[in-house]
Amino acid sequence: MKVAIVHDFFCNLGGSDQVAAALHQLYPDAPVYTLLVSDRNRQGELLQGMNIKTSFVQRLPLARRRHEIYLPLFPLAIESFDLTGFDLLLSSSHACAKGVIPAPEALHICYCHTPARYAWDLSYLYARRAPWLLRGHIALVMHRFRTWDVSTASRVDHFVANSHFVAQRIERYYRRPSTVIYPPVDTAYFAPGERSGDYHLVVSRLTAYKQIDLAIEAFNRLGKPLWIVGDGPDRRRLRAMAGSNVRFLGPLPREGVRDAMRGCRALIFPGKEDFGITPVEVQATGRPVIAYGRGGALESVIEGVTGAFFTEQTAGALCEAVDRADRLPFDRDAIRRHAVQFDREVFCRKMAAFVREKWDEHLLADRGRLPADQ
C-alpha cells in the first residue's frame, strides 16, 4: 500500500500541523504534499524527517509571510498535485487539502479540522475589514470557494472529525457523516512542573475571531495579571486597549509556552473553537481552563473539575467565571488524568485502527467489483 499525506500548509505550527505530523509518524515513508511551508518553520522540529512536496504557491511573492492573499489560487494549487500511483490518501484539512484529486482506485480519508472557517463563518469579517472597493471582490471569491469546497467533498471516501462540534459542521455543509477522533496532544511533554504564579494566561494567535480583546477587557476590569503569549495581525490594537496589568510575551518557543502554562492560575480561552489543543495542553500540566462554553471546549473541559465555563461572550460573564474559578478547589492530578485521554498515542492507535478498517473494506469492495473470471 503506497500512502501520501496531504496537508493545507505549515505556517503557524498549530494543532492541524500536529495532526499532519502524527499521520507521518504512522506512515513515515509517505511523502507530505502541502501548499507551502513558511521560512521560519522550514527547519522546525515538527517537520524533521518529512519528505515535503510544495505547490507553486511556495514560489509566489510574499506567500511565505502572507499566504492568505493567495486564497483564490488554493483550489488550483491543491489540484495540481499528481498523486498517480498512491493507493491511500490521508488529508489533514481545514482549508483545501480535502480537495486534492485522488487516483481513480485510491482510498481518500480526510481528517477534517473544520470546513474552512474563513469561507463559511468569517467571510463577513474579511469583507468588513477590507477597503470598500474590494468588498464585492472578496464576496465573489468566498462564494466561489464555498462552491468548490462543497463540490470537492465528494472526493473524500471517509471523513474523520476532530470533535463532535466539527462533525455537526461537516454534516451541515457537506451533508456527509464522519467519525470523531480527537486530535493528538503531547501530554508527556506538557507535564506538571513546580512553577507557580499569580497570573492568568492566554496562548493564541492574535487575530479577531480568537476574541482576545474580550479577555483584555475583562482583566482590565479585574485588575489581575494577564499574560498573553502569541502574535498576529491584531497585536497593535490589543496592546493599545490593554491596561498595565496585561503583559504581552510575544511568540515563545515550545519550552517557554510550557513554562508559562505550568505557572498560570488558569488558561483563558474566550473564543469558539473547533476543538482547541491548547486547553488540553494546559490541563496536561495540571492547570484549569476558563472557556467560553461553546464549540470544542465543551468536549475537552469539565465544569468544576478541570475548569469553568462562561456562557455569554461578554467581559462581565468572563469576570464572573474568573472569580468563580478562583474559589473552586481544583485537583491538579485529576486535571492531568483527564488530559491524558487526548494523548498522541491514543490518537495514533485510533487513527491506525480506523484506516485499517476502511482499507480492508476498500479491498473487499474492489474484489466485489471484479469480473467472476478474475
pLDDT of residue 372: 46
pLDDT of residue 222: 97
Measured in degrees and rounded to the nearest 5, phi and psi for residue 268 equal -100, 125
**pLDDT tens string 56-78:** 999 999 888 788 888 899 999 99
Instruction: Look at the chain and count its residues.
Output: 374
Grid cell for residue 48 = 524533521
pLDDT of residue 135: 65
Measured CA to CA, the distance from residue 91 to residue 108 in angstroms comes to: 8
pTM listed for this prediction: 0.90
pLDDT of residue 133: 61
pLDDT of residue 373: 46
Measured CA to CA, the distance from residue 20 to residue 155 in angstroms comes to: 19
pLDDT below 70 — which residues of the chain? 39-44, 122-137, 368-374
Grid cell for residue 56 = 507553486
In the predicted model, what is the mean pLDDT of the chain? 91
Where does the chain hold its CATH 3.40.50.2000 domain(s)? 200-340
- The architecture in CATH of the region 3-184+344-369 reads 3-Layer(aba) Sandwich (3.40)
Question: Residue 280 is which amino acid?
Answer: V
User: Can you count the helices (H) and strands (E) in the chain?
Assistant: 14, 13
Measured CA to CA, the distance from residue 88 to residue 355 in angstroms comes to: 9
200-340 fold: Rossmann fold (3.40.50)
